[in-house]
Amino acid sequence: MKPWIIRSSSFVLTASLLLPVAQAHANTPEATAGKIVASPQLNGATLAATSKVKLSKEAALTLAAKFVPTSGLTLSNVSFRSADNWRSFPEWSFGWNKKDAKNEKVLLSYSVSINANTGELTSYSHYDQSRSNLPYAKRVSYADARAAAEQFLKKNNPGKAAETRLYLRELPEPKTPLTADVSYTFRFVRVVDDVLFPDNGVDITVNGAGIVSDFSLLWNDVKFEKPDKQISLEEAEKLFQEQADPQLSYLLPWERTGAEKDTVTLGYQNPFTFYLDAQSGKALNRSLTPRGESKEPVAVSSKPLSPLRSGAALSQEEAIEWAKKTFDLGKYELRSANYSEREYRGNRPVWELEYMEKGKENDNYIYVSFDAVTGDVYSYSKGKSKRDEEEKPAKTLDLKKLQAAAMETVRKWTPTSAHQLYLVDRAEEEIEPFQANQYRITLGRYINGIAAASGSAYLYYDAQTGELLSYRTDFGSETYPTKVPNRLSDDEAIQAWWKESAAEAVYALEPLSEEDDKKVKELPSYVPKRTAKLVYRVTSTPFEQPYFLDATTGEWRSASSGKVLNLHRPTPLDLKGHPAEKELSLMYEYEALSLEDGKILPQKPITRGEMIEMLMISLNQGRHYPVYSLERKATFSDVANDSRFFSAVEGAVDRGLLDKNASKLNPDEPINREELADMIVRALGYKKLTDYPGMFQSPLTDIGNTKHRASIIIATTLGIVPTDKTKFQPQGAVSRADAAVTFTRFLEKRGNVDTESDLLRD
């Protein structure tokens, strides 16, 4: 972590520092800051800006120092920032740190920012290197962290605490951490007349030790518009359902592996991502502009078109001749040619050619790529010299003509995909140029009338001449059903999403006017007057990962992995009061254990695959990492790449947790105690110690002939794998409860830096 950051992206506040300006000036920084070296000097321009604020640097430093136990610290940074569009108040910022005298490594740092007019704390961060080795067992829980955040706000700023509300609807309660290096962030949203204003609020981060490490405030001077008449919440709920426009599309979870890697799922994403005007009840875009009616996309071609050519792949000479026939290259000469036999666009053979204009500068070029078999053009771009690209006011081009030209170009250059590309009416977006000198036309891909998971075409035109400057098509290699499967209706999708949704009234910040936007760009110090509009919005059930509705099964699925999700995980019927309730809950929380008839079954033997999966999740910071694809050869014959455990097992092999020389793993069979001990020792990184079994002594009488004697002694000496005084039972099965206890002890010992030295001393 950097010892000092001049300004973070968020803002912080403390009302206890709302001292009268006179009192602030009366105190000297030396009186409150302890040992502080001479502060850095400010330049002339900054000094001029500071003369317009109420608090001097010295007065602000006095206030900031109250948050810093400055004994042994050095004041290393002082800066000033005037009010601007992003933060409507001037601000003094100070940084302190303490470094290791030997290597200059930062051991302790604080950064504090103060409102230069009111004396309020606006930003605070704290880093303590000595707390980086916090034992896992000493970390605070989410509930304790929440209490710490609430207490910090109430103590240091009771005024803003009274004007905010802890908002938990948008973020799920985080899972129990698997490492001590954890932090929790809480959002306290500004409330105006009992209505939330999500654009303003306080963010507080609490670290694993239960200490507030970051505190930030975003608070604008805003005029809140109150409608003459407001529709009720019940009316808003009805209107949301009536005006929802569910979009059916094919989705491709980006972390899918194995046989389903390129298989799409027909799904509905959240149809309630719009606002409602609290007075009229009309649907609004996120920019608070009226939402237009969606129009049916228009196909570039009503039927599949014949390819430009067929036969064998073009040779280089043939590709060059093909390019001359297809593009206007009279003024250009070939500079480079590249051939990819299995290019990423569906593993197709592709030629890439680059041309330079004869006698011109290097930025006058044409680049093209096309399919070596069909001739389909995948990309085309034309560069111009800087003097040719002098910015000029864009002409008012005929958008309809540009759209027609774009569709004709696709039919001409990429005919085999023309019937899958559609013009989606985005007139409001496309009338304005994409850049000051370009217009963009976008085409989307549809399969049997449904938006595809990937595929698009972008065409950029010169805003002065209408000349095509760039053309790009992009298609993935996923597969689609030949016909649309049976699916939920739009109304059924709306109701399914509505069951996971809740409407609420909020204030939303109005976008800047054109005049204000221009002033902000020209004058960074300009602070426009902002207005907030009363609207209704919908929030959906928070979950630890994005999700969508499977249109064929009605199930919720992860947008990343495609796995079926339970948004409301049921509580096991047989867990409450069990001696290992806490430990079993942890494994269930991370889906390493599944319920059977609503029960966790604590005494059921845990399988080899389940234990491997849980260990790998812990080693991957609490996440599944399905990074192994079809190209990965399975290590074990009974764990193919379509197995639930494939990625976990292959990851365990790569980390040395498993013996890759075995032909089978038997992932669905119970793991025995000896195997568990060896796996734990490998995960701790102590496997090399087991190469010297003679150095270990143990009172256990039944491990003399075991394969993993040293691992058993290490695991039991550390207190990770439970045992009695003399018997270990190496071949005994491991119950789910014992596995959960073992896993929790593993997490605790893993974070103990003295574990290995203690073991060697024993």
The DSSP string of 498-563 is: HTTEEEEEEEEEPPPPHHHHHHHHH-TT----EEEEEEEEEEEPP-SS-EEEETTT--EEETTT--
- Listed residue (673, 630, 631, 533) closest to 192, CA to CA: 533
> Are 177 and 138 within 8 A, CB to CB?
no
Residue 174 has pLDDT above 80, yes or no: yes
Quote the CA–CA distance of 6 and 173 in Å, as a whole number.
31
> Are 741 and 580 within 8 A, CB to CB?
yes
Residue 750 has pLDDT above 70, yes or no: yes
Tokens (6 digits) for 502? 């809740």
Tokens (6 digits) for 355? 């041309």
With residues binned 3-state (H G I as helix, E B as strand, rest as coil), the percentages for the chain, rounded to 5, are 25, 25, 45
Residue 86 has pLDDT above 80, yes or no: no
- Listed residue (220, 222, 215, 218) closest to 14, CA to CA: 215
Give the model confidence (pLDDT) of 228-237 as tens digits.
999 999 999 9
What is the arithmetic mean of pLDDT over 244-273? 90
Q: Which helix (H) or strand (E) holds 264?
A: none
> Are 533 and 225 within 8 A, CB to CB?
yes
Give the model confidence (pLDDT) of 588-633 as tens digits.
998 888 899 999 999 999 999 999 988 888 888 777 665 666 677 8
How many residues are there in the chain?
762
- Local confidence band at 400 (pLDDT 50, 70, 90 cut-offs): confident
pLDDT of residue 647: 85
Quote the CA–CA distance of 333 and 365 in Å, as a whole number.
9
Quote the CA–CA distance of 603 and 594 in Å, as a whole number.
14
pTM of the model: 0.83
What is the arithmetic mean of pLDDT over 29-52? 52
State whether residue 457 is helix, strand or coil.
strand
Give the model confidence (pLDDT) of 412-468 as tens digits.
999 999 999 999 865 444 444 555 678 899 999 999 999 999 999 999 998 888 899
What's CA 78's distance to the chain center, in Å?
A: 33
Higher pLDDT, 256 or 6: 256
pLDDT of residue 32: 37
> Are 323 and 293 within 8 A, CB to CB?
no
Q: Which helix (H) or strand (E) holds 357?
A: strand 348-357
Tokens (6 digits) for 427? 């007139």
pLDDT of residue 336: 95
> Are 101 and 112 within 8 A, CB to CB?
no
The region of weakest confidence among 16-20, 326-330, 478-482 is 16-20
Sign for the pseudo-dihedral over CA of 22, 28, 32, 33: positive
323: Cβ contacts below 8 Å, ≥ 6 apart: 329, 351, 353, 368, 370
pLDDT of residue 362: 66
Tokens (6 digits) for 661? 């020389």
Helical H runs in 34-137? 44-50, 57-65
Quote the CA–CA distance of 732 and 673 in Å, as a whole number.
6
- Sequence spans of domains, the chain: 44-220, 233-294+486-540, 316-474, 580-759
> What is the pLDDT of the chain when averaged over all its residues?
86
pLDDT of residue 626: 56
pLDDT of residue 382: 92
pLDDT of residue 322: 96
Integer angstrom CA distances of residue 661 from 143, 276, 469, 607, 653: 46, 62, 57, 20, 10
Give the model confidence (pLDDT) of 132-149 as tens digits.
778 888 899 999 999 999
Residue 501 has pLDDT above 90, yes or no: yes
742: Cβ contacts below 8 Å, ≥ 6 apart: 676, 680, 720, 721, 722, 734
Please give the single-letter amino acid code of residue 326.
Answer: T
Which residue, chain included where needed, has tokens 């193919």? 640
Higher pLDDT, 67 or 88: 67
> Are 201 and 188 within 8 A, CB to CB?
yes
Quote the CA–CA distance of 272 and 240 in Å, as a whole number.
7
278: Cβ contacts below 8 Å, ≥ 6 apart: 227, 230, 231, 236, 505, 533, 534, 535, 536
- Listed residue (394, 412, 399, 390) closest to 462, CA to CA: 394
Quote the CA–CA distance of 503 and 537 in Å, as a whole number.
6
Pairing mode, if any, of strands 164-166 and 377-382?
unpaired
> Are 36 and 70 within 8 A, CB to CB?
yes
Residue 759 has pLDDT above 70, yes or no: no
Integer angstrom CA distances of residue 647 from 421, 635, 639, 640, 644: 36, 11, 9, 10, 8
What is the arithmetic mean of pLDDT over 571-599? 93
What is the arithmetic mean of pLDDT over 708-730? 91
pLDDT of residue 476: 85
pLDDT of residue 758: 45
Give the model confidence (pLDDT) of 512-531 as tens digits.
888 888 888 888 778 889 99
**Buried-state track 243-259, b at ≥16 Cβ within 10 A, e below 16:** ebebebbbbbbebbbbe
Residue 755 has pLDDT above 80, yes or no: no
Residue 393 has pLDDT above 90, yes or no: no
Tokens (6 digits) for 570? 């049921």
- Listed residue (137, 150, 261, 135) closest to 202, CA to CA: 150
pLDDT of residue 28: 34
Pairing mode, if any, of strands 530-540 and 222-224?
parallel
DSSP-derived secondary structure letter, 611 = H
> Are 602 and 578 within 8 A, CB to CB?
yes
Quote the CA–CA distance of 542 and 631 in Å, as a whole number.
35
**What is the CB neighbour count within 10 angstroms for residue 582?**
13
> Are 635 and 649 within 8 A, CB to CB?
yes
**Buried-state track 216-240, b at ≥16 Cβ within 10 A, e below 16:** bbbbbebeeeeeeebbeeeebbebb
